Amino acid sequence: MKMQNLFLFLSIGLLLSCNQQAQTQANAQAKVQPHNQAKDISKQRQHVHAVTKPHASIFMDYEIVNPVELNRMLDIKLTFMSKRNTDMLSVEYSLDAGLSANGEPRQFEFKQLAKGETKSIVLKVMPEQAGEFSINVYASIEINGKNQSRAFIVPISVPQSANSIQSQAVTEKPQGNAANKGMRFMPEQNVISMPANESSN
């Protein structure tokens, strides 16, 4: 009985603690919005006890250094860390249509990364359209001759500029992935209908 009470007390305490921490983080984020974000997303989206697939031992935080504005160069700081000594860290990235790198390098390589050590790079990206975009980042590490990779996304939300709103010269948000086309949500039948390739022989 005492153990149960103790467990209940600990549980409530833990919940309160978590709640306070969540609020603190939310407040901290609000203070630095809209252009400062730094997080390892993989830790945030999942259920508390979600059991996940293994990943390469490389972690990334990002920070959008300056305000996101249409046609204004954006600095995005990426910071990498590994929990293990690695012989090499290579980073590559690609941009959604609507963002451009203006000839900036797309690949980076570090010879060694000690356990717990961080390495940072700054990407320079030009938002050329308003809308929601992704920077796809691929980080590969080499440990004992074995290569392992992990993918990250830096989401970029580009607001329309005041000028573009006034002139109605707003560029349209890019259309959805072409691969989505042809998938139809049919709520009355509760299916996502996809087209088959049919033959009759």
Q: Using the rule CB under 8 A, is 146 a contact of another protein? A: yes
Q: Who's near 84: CB < 8 A, 6+ residues apart?
A: 57, 115, 141, 143
The minimum distance between CB 57 and another protein, in angstroms, equals 4
The minimum distance between CB 89 and another protein, in angstroms, equals 13
Contact characters 178-197, another protein, x per CB under 8 A: xxxxxx-xxxxxxxxxxxxx
Q: Who's near 176: CB < 8 A, 6+ residues apart?
A: none
Q: How many Å is the maximal CA-CA distance in the chain?
A: 73
Find the part of the chain contacting another protein (CB under 8 A) among 30-38, 48-56, 70-78, 120-128.
Answer: 48-56
Alpha-carbon gap, residue 15 to 22, rounded angstroms: 10
The minimum distance between CB 162 and another protein, in angstroms, equals 28
Q: Of the candidates 4, 53, 107, 172, which one interacts with another protein according to CB under 8 A?
A: 53
Alpha-carbon gap, residue 183 to 187, rounded angstroms: 13
Decide whether 45 or 111 has the Cβ nearer to another protein: 45
Residue 110 tokens, joined? 């570090």
Contact characters 28-47, another protein, x per CB under 8 A: -------------xxxxxxx
Please state, in angstroms and as integers, the Cα–Cα distance from residue 87 to each residue in 44, 102, 126, following that order.
29, 31, 32
Q: Of the candidates 1, 4, 54, 172, which one interacts with another protein according to CB under 8 A?
A: 54
Please state, in angstroms and as integers, the Cα–Cα distance from residue 84 to each residue in 2, 56, 78, 115, 138, following that order.
42, 10, 19, 4, 18
Considering only residues 77 through 136, tell me which ones interact with another protein, judged by CB under 8 A.
83-84, 92, 94, 134, 136
Number of residues forming the site for another protein (CB under 8 A): 60
Q: Of the candidates 4, 5, 52, 107, which one interacts with another protein according to CB under 8 A?
A: 52
The minimum distance between CB 169 and another protein, in angstroms, equals 29
Inter-residue contact 67 to 35 (CB < 8 Å): yes
Alpha-carbon gap, residue 29 to 164, rounded angstroms: 28
Q: Of the candidates 17, 147, 157, 163, which one interacts with another protein according to CB under 8 A?
A: 147
Residue 93 tokens, joined? 């990235």
Contact residues for another protein (CB under 8 A)? 41-57, 83-84, 92, 94, 134, 136, 138, 140, 143-144, 146-153, 155, 177-183, 185-201
